[in-house]
Each structure stands twice: as structure tokens, then as C-alpha cells.
């Protein structure tokens, strides 16, 4: 590199991966870019977003929307995540994922899991999720670019974002019962997770999803991400970990 020139792309480190996962797991919506079947031109639209338990984005879309037949004709797509806040929108972090879309077959285990997680995150979608012209798509990340703000650009690969291993199926089998139990009996602990570990404010937080890395919490339209101190290796580690986190949070406050 020429002397005096600054490297544009930074080395991807644990902090960058954590920020990317935060943007991915906490997204409520995103900008989906597809290719028009007839013209090959780029087409961008807004879609509601959730994530599968391994971190792959999920979208629920209608055949009436132009992006759905486009995905069926060509599964290549891109998803931009990250909400601008006050001031310059370009100063706020965002994540662009390069993906391959796959339509999940209704009635399959993959569809059932994806639909459950999507509706936990987006409960208003219950109104139309069962309609025949709606389909659930899983977007398989191939690579991603993260802009953490001015001068903070990173390139990420699929393993940086998508979790692998037997823990995925193991935890998926018990996730919903754990979510329902926590939301029914332990709202006080969930408030501790939100306030202490995520720095969130407000009340009425519930768990929308659990995964090996952490949990997604929602309160109305607000979403926050809480990472576990260490990723889960076995599903049986979840309960004692949640108990320990609640104890730690209460002791700190």
C-alpha cells in the first residue's frame, strides 16, 4: 500500500462480528434487493424480517409483491439492515447481506420453525401468515459487508453470521417451551436482561427468540439483543445460564 493511504476495509474482529449479529438479530425490517425477471434490473423493496435459530434471515412475502416472483425466478438477493437514528443517517451502522433465497415448503419442519420464530418476532403477521398467497423464505447469507459508521468498514463471511452444529436442532426442539415459560412466569428476570445486559429502557419486555448466542427481546415495536456470556454448547445449559444472568443483573443493580 502507498505510504499515507489508509486501508478502507478493516480487519474483521470479534467486535465487528458482534455488531453485525446485533444488527441482524434485532432487525424488524430491511431493504430487499432482487432482480426483475423480465428486465434483469435491480428492484428494492421493504420487507419484515426475523431470523432463524442459526441466524439466517427470514421473510414472509406475498405473491402479489413484485419481489416474490423475482426471488422464485432468481434466488440471488441482497438484504440491507440497520435503522438510522438522529443526525446523519450515514453515521449509523448498517449491514448488507448477499444471500441465496429458498422458499420453505408449507407443512415442512423447516417452515414450521421459521413461521414460529417469525410470528414470535412479528405477532401482527398472524393476520396474513396463513393466507395461501404468502410464502416464507429463508435467505442464506453468502457474505456480508458491515459499515459501523464513518471509517469502519468490514467484510464478513457466512461463518461469521450463521451458527453451525448439533446445538441448532437440539435447541430448536425446546426453544418455544422455554420462551413461553419465561414470558408467563419470569417477566421480572426478562426485565433484568433488557435493562442490565442490553442497556434498554422501558417495561413490558418479553422474549421473542432464543438461540445459541443469546436472546431477542421485544417490547411493542422496540427490539433489543442480549448476548450470553458464552455461547451454548448444549441445550441443557440454557436454564442455568438464564438463572445466573438474572442473579448477576439483580446483584449489579
Residues 21-42: tens digit of each pLDDT? 999 999 999 999 999 999 999 9
Please state the pTM of the whole predicted model: 0.94
Let me know: does 74 contact 120? Beta carbons within 8 Å.
no
The C-alpha torsion from 63 through 83 and 23 to 32, rounded to 10°, is 20
Tell me, yes or no, if the two domains 9-162 and 164-248 fold the same way.
no
Q: Apex CA 120: angle with CA 119 and CA 125, to 5°? A: 25
Annotated domain spans of the chain = 9-162, 164-248
Cβ contacts of residue 178 below 8 Å, gap of 6+? 210, 238, 239
- pLDDT 10s digits, 93-116: 999 999 999 999 999 999 999 999
* CATH of region 9-162: 2.30.110.10
What's the pLDDT score for residue 1? 42
- pLDDT 10s digits, 128-174: 999 999 999 999 999 999 998 878 899 999 999 999 999 999 999 99
CATH classification of 164-248 is 3.10.100.10, yes or no? Answer: no
Amino acid at each position: 500500500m502507498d505510504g499515507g493511504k489508509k486501508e478502507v476495509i478493516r480487519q474483521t474482529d470479534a467486535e465487528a462480528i458482534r455488531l453485525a449479529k446485533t444488527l441482524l438479530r434485532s432487525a424488524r425490517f430491511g431493504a430487499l434487493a432482487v432482480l426483475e425477471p423480465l428486465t434483469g434490473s435491480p428492484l428494492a423493496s421493504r420487507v419484515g424480517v426475523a431470523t432463524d435459530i442459526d441466524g439466517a434471515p427470514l421473510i414472509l412475502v406475498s405473491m402479489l409483491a413484485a419481489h416474490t416472483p423475482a426471488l422464485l425466478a432468481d434466488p440471488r438477493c441482497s438484504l440491507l439492515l440497520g435503522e438510522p437514528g438522529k443526525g446523519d443517517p450515514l453515521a449509523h451502522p448498517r449491514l448488507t447481506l448477499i444471500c441465496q433465497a429458498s422458499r420453505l415448503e408449507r407443512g415442512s419442519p423447516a417452515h414450521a420453525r421459521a413461521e414460529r420464530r417469525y410470528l414470535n418476532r412479528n405477532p401482527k403477521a398472524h393476520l396474513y401468515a396463513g393466507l395461501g398467497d404468502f410464502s416464507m423464505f429463508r435467505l442464506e447469507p453468502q457474505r456480508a459487508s458491515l459499515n459501523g459508521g464513518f471509517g469502519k468498514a468490514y467484510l464478513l463471511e457466512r461463518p461469521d453470521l450463521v451458527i453451525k452444529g448439533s446445538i441448532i436442532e437440539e435447541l430448536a426442539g425446546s426453544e418455544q417451551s422455554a420462551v413461553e415459560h419465561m414470558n408467563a412466569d419470569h417477566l421480572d428476570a426478562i426485565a433484568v436482561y433488557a435493562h442490565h445486559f442490553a442497556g434498554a429502557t422501558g417495561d413490558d419486555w418479553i422474549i421473542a427468540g432464543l438461540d445459541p448466542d443469546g436472546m431477542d427481546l421485544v417490547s411493542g415495536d422496540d427490539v433489543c439483543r442480549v448476548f450470553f456470556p458464552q455461547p451454548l454448547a448444549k441445550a441443557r445449559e440454557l436454564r442455568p445460564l438464564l438463572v445466573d444472568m438474572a442473579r448477576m443483573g439483580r446483584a449489579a443493580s
